[in-house]
Amino acid sequence: MTDNYKNLRVLILGLGLYPQGSGAASARFFARAGARVTVTDRKTRWELGGAVSRLRGLRIRFVLGRHLMEDTRRSDLVVRNPGVRADSPELRLARRLGIPVVSDISVFFRLCPAPIVGVTGTRGKSTTTALLAEMLKGTGRRVFVGGNIQVSPLTFAGRVRKQDIVVLELSSWMLETLRGERRSPQVAVLTNVMRDHLNTYRGMKEYAAAKASIFEFQDRDDVAVLNRDNALARGIGRSVAAQRFWFSKKSFPGENGAFVRDGWIIVRDGGAERRVARTMVVALAGEHNLENALAAIAAAAALGVPAAHIKKTLRSFRGLHSRQEIIRRKGGIIWVNDTTATTPDATIAALRRFGAQGVLDYAPLRSNNILRASEPKARELRRIILIAGGADKKLDFAELAREVKRRAWHVFLLPGNATDMLLKELARARSTVCAHRVASMREAVRAARAVARRGDIVILSPGAASFGLFQNEFDRGEQFVREVRRLR
């Protein structure tokens, strides 16, 4: 099928920074397929770093620092990078002229001979994708993993065979391009639907519809895995055409899925129940990660993965980098990189995981750290120093402010309008937490170290987007790790 692209005028709209990301992988794929490739990006060559030089040797024309309408007009095919908005002038023009708009994901779906498992959701999709992929390796099949994890599936498109299996993390933007292809993965997983990206979508209804589209073109031979504990996912699940597998932290009657009963993870399929493992076996910490594990278990069970291998994977899988990742212990202080927490809900999950059990309404600094009578004993207390803030995506920070009030000791806030909103909500909640604005990651880390004491936990968990001060959330995390490692 790659012969179909020979001499085609292909416009790659958005190169991006990741070496194996959508833009770079698409450019390589189409250039090697013999297409006449033009790559455009609003960033300059300097801002893109080594992204351009990594494509050296391929016949590619670059237009950097801008997008030009004439490039769209001259194209036979436009490849949209996920970072390019659907309502951008270039994409509107392409649609008006009848020029097909695709993505690396939709092109891969055309080419892939193997079954595809797609995982989407507001939170937990990366962890669920990686955990499920590890479980599937126990079947003896080759497993390929890609999508919204900085690895485009076009990087391995030529190596996938019919007997293999592919697991893709799919963002809402990726799913939009699949709708145009009228395609869905054979196994589709929805971890949850929460408030996010409302700076891009016109409201939760539109955002939820984008997530729900992962099931749109499934049939009764396919599998849909959904979170029964999430109201929006539960509503979406009522109308899927595929075989439905629920997952839940509570027992539910009748239907297929994975759930918890009396401390056991149980899988029900066709009315038959089997115990998989005790919940204490799950190496990933936190209630949110138990949900992620249940999602992976439900999908793995539907795909025939043996219970023994599911249990073995639950014991061994420790999670992904940049997600509540402990990066250093020094002087009795624990440092945690949770830079991928780009929503208030994600930061709340981190605060709940790393906070002590029980009531955690800390006394303010001026009271010399004396615990109130209603609080746990001092030896049970974990003081949290939070680095948060950044750019808002039209989200609600009220609940995060209440959680910060209960669980944080100091908060250092990076520049951005999300910081302004969080400060307003902290004031509205009458929080006594010590909150300070900082201008850079270096200042945040050094300020946190200045107030941290033995037994404290310093968490980078922004609850906001990274644009403005950082290239992306991973650049934000890398700067945090670098500054923490510089500490003496």
* Structure token digits, residue 482: 């670098």
Tens-of-pLDDT digits for all 488 residues of the chain?
Answer: 566 899 999 999 999 888 899 999 999 999 999 999 999 999 899 888 888 999 999 999 999 999 999 999 999 999 998 878 888 999 999 999 999 999 999 999 999 999 999 999 999 999 999 999 999 998 889 999 999 888 999 999 999 999 999 999 999 888 988 888 889 999 999 999 987 777 777 888 988 999 999 999 999 999 999 999 999 999 999 999 999 999 999 999 989 999 999 999 999 998 899 999 999 999 888 888 999 999 999 999 999 999 999 999 999 998 888 888 999 999 999 999 999 999 999 999 999 988 854 333 333 322 222 223 233 343 445 789 999 999 988 889 999 999 999 999 999 999 999 999 999 999 999 999 999 999 999 999 999 999 999 999 999 999 999 888 898 899 999 999 999 999 98
The residues that bridge with 434 in the sheet, in sequence order, are 410
> Which residue, of 260, 295, 316, is where some domain finishes?
316
* Structure token digits, residue 227: 């979170």
Strands 272-278 and 264-269: antiparallel
Residue type, 211: K
Spatial separation of the C-alpha atoms in residues 142 and 477, rounded to whole Å: 31
Residue 387 shares a structural domain with residue 475: yes
Residue 78 shares a structural domain with residue 147: no
Spatial separation of the C-alpha atoms in residues 71 and 60, rounded to whole Å: 13
Residue 156 shares a structural domain with residue 262: yes
What is the distance, to the nearest Å, from the Cα of residue 361 to the centroid of all Cα atoms in its chain? 30
Residue 131 shares a structural domain with residue 265: yes
Any residues with CB less than 8 A from the CB of 413 and at least 6 apart, and which? 387, 388, 389, 419, 422, 423, 435, 436, 437, 438
Structurally, how many domains does the chain consist of? 3
pLDDT value of residue 407: 92
The 3-state DSSP composition of the chain as helix, strand, coil percent (nearest 5) reads 40, 20, 40
pLDDT value of residue 367: 29
Residue 204 shares a structural domain with residue 285: yes
Number of H helices, E strands in the chain: 15, 20
Q: What are phi and psi of 150, to 5 degrees?
A: 75, 10
Residue 399 shares a structural domain with residue 290: no
pLDDT value of residue 356: 53
Is there a contact between 78 and 26 (Cβ–Cβ < 8 Å)?
no
Any residues with CB less than 8 A from the CB of 304 and at least 6 apart, and which? 139
Residue 280 shares a structural domain with residue 308: yes
pLDDT value of residue 94: 95
CATH number of the domain within which 246 lies: 3.40.1190.10
CATH number of the domain within which 40 lies: 3.40.50.720
Is there a contact between 383 and 362 (Cβ–Cβ < 8 Å)?
yes
Residue 343 shares a structural domain with residue 366: yes
Residue 37 shares a structural domain with residue 157: no
pLDDT value of residue 361: 33
Spatial separation of the C-alpha atoms in residues 241 and 224, rounded to whole Å: 8
Residue 44 shares a structural domain with residue 31: yes
pLDDT value of residue 250: 95
Residue 123 shares a structural domain with residue 167: yes
For residue 300, CA distances in Å to 173, 283, 361 come to: 25, 17, 40
> Which residue, of 102, 131, 155, is where some domain finishes?
102
Spatial separation of the C-alpha atoms in residues 353 and 329, rounded to whole Å: 17
> Which residue, of 102, 124, 144, is where some domain finishes?
102
Q: What is the pTM of this model?
A: 0.83
| Domain residue limits at 212 | 105-316
What is the distance, to the nearest Å, from the Cα of residue 479 to the centroid of all Cα atoms in its chain? 19
List the one residue out of 137, 211, 220 whose CA is nearest residue 174: 211
List the one residue out of 421, 410, 416 whose CA is nearest residue 387: 410
* Structure token digits, residue 140: 């003896």
pLDDT value of residue 488: 85
CATH number of the domain within which 344 lies: 3.90.190.20
Residue 118 shares a structural domain with residue 213: yes
